[in-house]
Amino acid sequence: MVATSDRFIENNPLVDSNMAIIVTSFNGHLPFLKNTLLGYMSSGKYVISSFDRHMGTIPEDIFAVPHSWTFKHLTHGAEKRNGWLWDIVYGAGIIHLFENFEYVFTVNGDCVWDKPKGVEDIIELMDDNDIMSSSSNGIIHTCSVIWKRQTFMDFVSYIRNNLNKNRPESYSPEVLLRDWALLYNIKVKVPPLQAKYPQGHLHAGAIDHYSSYHQEDSTWKQLLGYRNLGGEHKWSCLEHLEPVPRRYFDLRNNGEFLSKHEKDTLLNYYLTQDRRWLYMYWDQGEDSYYNRKYYPLEHYGNNALHDDSKRKELGPDSERKGLFNRFDLDFMNK
């Protein structure tokens, strides 16, 4: 028989936690959201999923994962900027009610922690500073940030005041956060190691705020097992890199959360491990419509391929013709 006091603790997960994790998200994160939320729940901290407007798109089993949800009102223009800022404001409404939260962690819904217990090491690393982001270099990036409680609440007040006086298209959350930190002399901790673009890249050696290449040499990766799945997913297609591992994807109902391009190609690769589907995925996902090619599966060989031994002759069209350079993509120079 469970004691009454134990039942109270079960019914009040807020009372034991010194941190609230606000997971900012929208429909575009649904391919990853269940797995990322499960990771945050494994940290032992209180988890709030702060979602864009709910249009009946969230399955019940995903609803059941975090401790609580918030949904912002309808906003117009600058969707990414307005979305993140209002998600933070709504999440702060819960934090305001519970003084036991000493820390707040804000993180995007397409970012995962493979080592969720490492959040204790992040707290220790921040020491007596007010805020620490996974990456800072003139701006403070908002993908993954730990805050002292009062610092977070002060920033939320600043957001509300700023939103009342500015057009939303006139700033980004990162610039808003940077300006606020400078204005109020906020103590910003820069992590010892930050993800950087690889050698050969147009921005080689510069900070990669989206950890797009699963970089191992970053503090967030080492302590939290952090991965930005959305960043990895985008660049793996454009640069013909190995896709995000299947275990992170929610492939329910024949890829219900995937785009048509992904359903027609990447989903089949995950289901069969036949690399012909991967070559097709890359061909159809080139960086411009002019370069995209749409061939039948047999274009990549009549038999299934489970390695790249024939990639030079049967791989993506641009590679066969010797025209592909993963670090020479048109949009990088725009």
Segment 234-252 mean pLDDT:
96
Tell whether 175 and 232 lie within a shared domain.
no
Tell whether 127 and 236 lie within a shared domain.
no
208 domain residue, yes or no: no
Tell whether 227 and 173 lie within a shared domain.
no
110 domain residue, yes or no: yes
Place of tokens 């990549």: 300
213 domain residue, yes or no: no
Where residue 297 falls among pLDDT bands split at 50, 70, 90?
very high
Q: How far apart are the first and last CA of the chain?
A: 66
pTM of the model: 0.92
- At residue 2, does pLDDT exceed 50? no
92 domain residue, yes or no: yes
Tell whether 11 and 133 lie within a shared domain.
yes
Where residue 15 falls among pLDDT bands split at 50, 70, 90?
low
Q: What is the rounded CA–CA span in Å between residue 312 and residue 168?
A: 48
Rounded to 10 degrees, the C-alpha dihedral 134/136/142/144 comes to 10
Tell whether 164 and 231 lie within a shared domain.
no
Structural domain of 299 = 219-333
Q: How many domains are there within the chain?
A: 2
Rounded to 10 degrees, the C-alpha dihedral 130/135/139/140 comes to -30
Show Cβ contacts of residue 262 under 8 Å, excluding neighbours closer than 6 positions.
255, 281
Tell whether 237 and 123 lie within a shared domain.
no
194 domain residue, yes or no: no
Tell whether 252 and 179 lie within a shared domain.
no
Tell whether 32 and 155 lie within a shared domain.
yes
Where residue 288 falls among pLDDT bands split at 50, 70, 90?
confident
Tell whether 47 and 89 lie within a shared domain.
yes
211 domain residue, yes or no: no
At 67-114, the pLDDT tens digits run 999 999 887 766 667 788 889 999 999 999 999 999 999 999 999 999
- At residue 56, does pLDDT exceed 80? no
- At residue 3, does pLDDT exceed 60? no
CATH number of the CATH domain containing 133: 3.90.550.50
By the 8 A CB rule, do 135 and 50 touch?
A: no
At 152-161, the pLDDT tens digits run 999 999 988 8
- At residue 287, does pLDDT exceed 50? yes
Tell whether 150 and 234 lie within a shared domain.
no
214 domain residue, yes or no: no
Tell whether 93 and 11 lie within a shared domain.
yes
Tell whether 151 and 235 lie within a shared domain.
no
